[in-house]
Amino acid sequence: MDSLKRTKVIDALSAKAGQKILVKGWVRTRRGNKSVGFIALNDGSTIKNIQIVVDFEKIAEDSLKGITTGACIAAEGLLVESQGQGQSVEIQAEKIELYGTADPETYPLQKKGHTMEYLRGIAHLRPRTNTFSAVLRIRHNMAYAIHTYFHEHGYFYFHTPIITASDCEGAGQMFQVTTKNLYDLKKDENGSIDYRDDFFGKQASLTVSGQLEGELGATALGAIYTFGPTFRAENSNTPRHLAEFWMIEPEIAFMDKAELMDLEEDFVKYCVRWALEHCADDLEFLNNMIDKGLIERLKSVVNTEFVRLPYTEGINILQEAIKNGKKFEFPCNWGDDLSSEHERYLVEEHFKRPVIMTDYPREIKAFYMKINEDKKTVQGTDVLFPQIGEIIGGSVREENYEKLMNEIEVRNIPMKDMWWYLDTRRFGSCPHAGFGLGFERLMLFVTGMQNIRDVIPFPRTPNNAEF
């Protein structure tokens, strides 16, 4: 069997008919009649299956017994023009080898029509479905597009630590990392835990963002980006939050607010355009099966200019809408953090295109954002997307040492773990800016999937760390 080299299904489907070919993969379906069997085989290289035709005069029907949905096989034969509809070529089987059976009684992926909830319960097998294999191929392509974009634009991939002692967002949503014996935790007279004998000699956590270290990179290499896992112990059970998600964080020296917004817009459009150009088959499948408006929405984002909207103007638009009878669940007065219903109203109903919202009230944003002259607002630049809400959080950074220190003190941020960050402002401080794109939020947009748990292979959410 293995004298021939294996051909991937994606290549077999575009190969010239008339040659001997060997394919290997998993059986999607098997059907047929008394004299002939048809096997639809998929090897993950493409959403498309290759059809294997088995003539029972050449291969005994009996020997196909174990070849049921989910089984793994190798098939060798002549590649011929297909007689049937829906495929250009098929294989006339000469030899079939069964690698692994999948008992029809117990294999959980019988044919079609499973709910997303059901599939989450079998996340170890769901990559074998059409939907998830399409999503995962697109996920790979998006990661590749991101590295390509930054590489082509002169950014350096900068690896920031996963384990850290500082809370970048200051929101206190960190997972602790410790080797202490939790069954025998000693506390001092104030009820505090002494971390001096812990692994790192201090309290440590999983990072919520690589930004602070990213700023160190930018103020040395000029322009860097991170692309790694980040962790948030926020108890948000929503279709848009994960406890472990991947974030892309570029950080650039000498960049101002206008340039930052240009970068955010150019970068997201590049990724979406990449998907349209490189993932056409998978997008077409998702457009048919998951979201009929998907491809049109992707094209429209690539072709429209994003709105640039100061927060204060956004609040005015929302209050005007309320006056005209629009009902929101949460209030939206100046100073409030916008909730996703507000963001989606602005993006989907009012402007009908992506919005970059800027100049937020100081109190609702992180300590590192550059304070405007009005002293009330900061130079944040979040990108809000249809269906998703916030896809990017970004800002110009406060580069003035005194102003930054003041913000750290006002917010009671523990100083002892911040000295190294403050050194960027003490030695050769420079204007700089950056943003964070939630990779899975981008994936939601590009695939049309409804739940963030379905665009990452193994989601981590409250009460769920299976697989």
Binding positions for Mg ion, rule: CB under 5 A: 393
Reduced to 3 states (helix: H, G, I; strand: E, B; else coil), residue 375 is coil
Q: How far is the CB of 135 from ligand 4AD (least distance, A)?
A: 16
Q: How far is the CB of 390 from Mg ion (least distance, A)?
A: 6
Q: How far is the CB of 379 from ligand 4AD (least distance, A)?
A: 12
- The helix, strand and coil proportions of the chain, stated in percent and rounded to the nearest 5, come to 35, 25, 40
Reduced to 3 states (helix: H, G, I; strand: E, B; else coil), residue 80 is strand
Residue from 52, 91, 96, 242 that binds ligand 4AD (CB under 6 A)? 242
Rank residues 40 and 433 by Cβ distance to ligand 4AD and give the closer one: 433
Q: How far is the CB of 148 from ligand 4AD (least distance, A)?
A: 20
Position 257 contacts ligand 4AD (CB under 6 A): no
Position 392 contacts ligand 4AD (CB under 6 A): yes
Residue from 24, 126, 241, 460 that binds ligand 4AD (CB under 6 A)? 241
Q: Which does 440 bind (CB under 5 to 8 A by kind): ligand 4AD, Mg ion, none?
A: ligand 4AD
d(CA 10, CA 22) in angstroms, rounded, equals: 13
DSSP bridge pairs for 356: 308, 383
Q: Which residues contact 131 (CB under 8 A, 6 or more apart)?
A: 119, 285, 286, 289, 290
Residue from 23, 27, 165, 247 that binds ligand 4AD (CB under 6 A)? 247
d(CA 311, CA 274) in angstroms, rounded, equals: 31
User: What DSSP string describes 141-182?
Assistant: HHHHHHHHHHHHTT-EE----SEES--TT-S--PPEE--S-G
d(CA 81, CA 89) in angstroms, rounded, equals: 4
Q: Which does 362 bind (CB under 5 to 8 A by kind): ligand 4AD, Mg ion, none?
A: none
48, amino acid identity: K
d(CA 220, CA 401) in angstroms, rounded, equals: 18
Rank residues 285 and 435 by Cβ distance to ligand 4AD and give the closer one: 435
Rank residues 1 and 364 by Cβ distance to ligand 4AD and give the closer one: 364
Q: Largest Cα–Cα distance in the chain?
A: 86
Q: How far is the CB of 382 from Mg ion (least distance, A)?
A: 6
8-state DSSP, 369: B
Rank residues 28 and 241 by Cβ distance to ligand 4AD and give the closer one: 241
How many residues bind to ligand 4AD according to rule CB under 6 A? Answer: 22
Position 391 contacts ligand 4AD (CB under 6 A): yes
Residue from 228, 314, 436, 448 that binds ligand 4AD (CB under 6 A)? 436
130, containing H or E segment: helix 130-152
User: What DSSP string describes 282-297?
Assistant: HHHHHHHHT-TTHHHH
Q: Which does 245 bind (CB under 5 to 8 A by kind): ligand 4AD, Mg ion, none?
A: ligand 4AD
Position 378 contacts ligand 4AD (CB under 6 A): no
Q: Which does 61 bind (CB under 5 to 8 A by kind): ligand 4AD, Mg ion, none?
A: none
How many helical (H) and strand (E) elements, i.e. helices and strands, does the chain have? 12, 16
d(CA 378, CA 380) in angstroms, rounded, equals: 6
d(CA 373, CA 378) in angstroms, rounded, equals: 9
The pair of three-digit structure tokens given for residue 135, joined into one six-digit string: 């999503």
Residue from 70, 354, 438, 448 that binds ligand 4AD (CB under 6 A)? 438
Rank residues 190 and 463 by Cβ distance to ligand 4AD and give the closer one: 463
Q: Which does 460 bind (CB under 5 to 8 A by kind): ligand 4AD, Mg ion, none?
A: none
Position 245 contacts ligand 4AD (CB under 6 A): yes
Rank residues 169 and 282 by Cβ distance to ligand 4AD and give the closer one: 169
Q: How far is the CB of 89 from Mg ion (least distance, A)?
A: 49
Q: Which does 285 bind (CB under 5 to 8 A by kind): ligand 4AD, Mg ion, none?
A: none
Reduced to 3 states (helix: H, G, I; strand: E, B; else coil), residue 322 is helix
Contact 298, 177 (CB under 8 A): no
Segment 194-213, which members bind ligand 4AD (CB under 6 A)?
Answer: 209, 211
Radius of gyration, alpha carbons of the chain: 27
φ, ψ of residue 184 in degrees (nearest 5): -140, 60
Position 354 contacts ligand 4AD (CB under 6 A): no
Position 168 contacts ligand 4AD (CB under 6 A): yes
Binding site for ligand 4AD (CB under 6 A): 168-169, 209, 211, 232, 234, 241-242, 245, 247, 249, 390-394, 434-436, 438, 440-441
